[in-house]
Amino acid sequence: MHQDNKFSEIQYNYVFVILYSVFVVLTSIAIFIATVNNENSGLAIMLLATLLLLSFFMYMQGKMKVEVTEKELLISMGFNFTTKEFSKHQIETKSLQIEKLPFWFGLGNKQAGGNRTFFRIGFKPCVSFQLKNDDERYFVSTSQPEQLISALKK
């Protein structure tokens, strides 16, 4: 069965992308120097392993996809390993609102105090909502909050 997307957005945390790019350049230079000198080949391997591990972390925290289909809201981070699904009929439409969260709430997919769960990448506005028969509030960052709310109400 084919489900039409009513809303789809891929977000990148450009601060992570810039920092990661600088790190890649500096690490590449260090690896080149270590291999040319042949004195610190262990250092080159350690730097390469660090680069690969950091690449995985940056991608997991630096990309988020928000998608609204006919029946559900899908949120996935990074490689889509952590996809959260919300059935649209479970979302309390009266609770939908746009909120600007302070930077100290942090980034990523996490649960916070006060029955709050964040799906946040960058410091964009969030659409917040509650599920029917649940007091937990969910926050989803988006650069198109009005379109996301409209798609969730349909």
pLDDT in tens, 13-60: 877 778 778 888 887 887 777 777 776 667 777 777 888 887 777 777
Global pTM value: 0.74
Separation of alpha carbons 114 and 101, rounded Å: 14
Asked if 81 and 148 sit in the same domain, the reply is: yes
Asked if 37 and 84 sit in the same domain, the reply is: no
Asked if 48 and 120 sit in the same domain, the reply is: no
Q: Tally helices (H) and strands (E) across the chain.
A: 3, 9
- Domain span at residue 39 reads 13-61
Asked if 53 and 71 sit in the same domain, the reply is: no
Asked if 91 and 38 sit in the same domain, the reply is: no
Asked if 43 and 73 sit in the same domain, the reply is: no
Residue 3 resides in a domain:
no
Asked if 75 and 134 sit in the same domain, the reply is: yes
